[in-house]
Amino acid sequence: MVCAGLPPYPCSVAATAPTGQTAFDGTQSAYERARPTYAIEAILASLLLAGCSGIGDVADLAAGTGKLTRVLQPHALSIVAIEPSPSMRAAFASATDGVEVLDGRAEAIPLADASVDLVTVGAAFHWFRPTPALAEIARVLRPGGGLVVANNEWRTDAAPWLAAVYQSARSRRRVRAPGRNWRRALESSAHFEAPCEAAKPHDQELSPEAFIDLSRSLSSVNVLAPGERAAYLAGLRALVDELAPRPLVVPFRTRAVAARRRG
């Protein structure tokens, strides 16, 4: 199968480089409707492998609309969300009950020293400046506390239609983020012990409309000029209608990387 009908995927970016605070402006509704949640089993297993004591009091950084926060909420003693985008904080407040969301960044967390047992980051660490972010995360963690970075990966090997839809798309130019080598920074950080990871399949059933919302919520699509973005999404919808089975199940894998704070 060939994706010849798909318009070029992010072939240009906004004149001003987006940041984690601005790259998702206007996407909050699509983000909440279509972004996957996270497999709690992967998070718990990664913490166990890393030698962390448990979940306890949690700070969820770059919480977005609360996708990861709500997964953690039933397991935490307490939880607070940190999110730099005003529009995302508003969406978080609408979608997530019983959790305070604070304005803040990973490099300047608005929490006291040694105030939480766990810091979590869902699909966002690549937006952080790794060295100052890791130092700040270590500051707010109690001794022996843990950091978990969770990401949802496309399992294109499990769905030929998905591989076909993104055959051309995923090789195109992307939005550049400052922390793309976050794993390397974590492995070399003096603040944390060697990271451990666990993964769990976490498939999501979506409508075709929700799948387009999922693509709309990607920063690399959001920063396109409106006409270019509309053309890309229209071409993507045509391919989904042609190639994707019904029900439309998107195969994801939650990969969680955990590291224990030294000391």
d(CA 10, CA 224): 7
For the chain, the average pLDDT equals: 88
pLDDT above 60: residue 210: yes
The residues facing 250 across adjacent strands are: 204
pLDDT above 50: residue 7: no
Query: Would you put residue 98 in left (φ > 0), alpha (ψ -120 to 50) or beta?
Result: left
Read off the pTM.
0.90
Bridging pattern class, strands 204-206 and 248-250: antiparallel
Structure tokens at 233: 């999404």
Geometric angle at alpha carbon 44, from 62 and 206, rounded to 5° = 60
pLDDT-derived band of residue 139, with 50, 70 and 90 as boundaries? very high
pLDDT-derived band of residue 221, with 50, 70 and 90 as boundaries? confident
Phi then psi for 256, rounded to 5 degrees?
A: -115, 130
- pLDDT, one tens digit per residue, over 190-209 is 999 999 999 999 999 999 99
Q: Is the dihedral of CA 174, 64, 110, 187 positive or negative?
A: negative
Question: Average pLDDT for residues 224-232, to the nearest whole number?
Answer: 90
Q: Are 154 and 252 in contact (CB under 8 A)?
A: yes
Q: How many CB atoms lie within 10 A of CB 147?
A: 28
Consecutive H or E run containing 153: strand 141-154
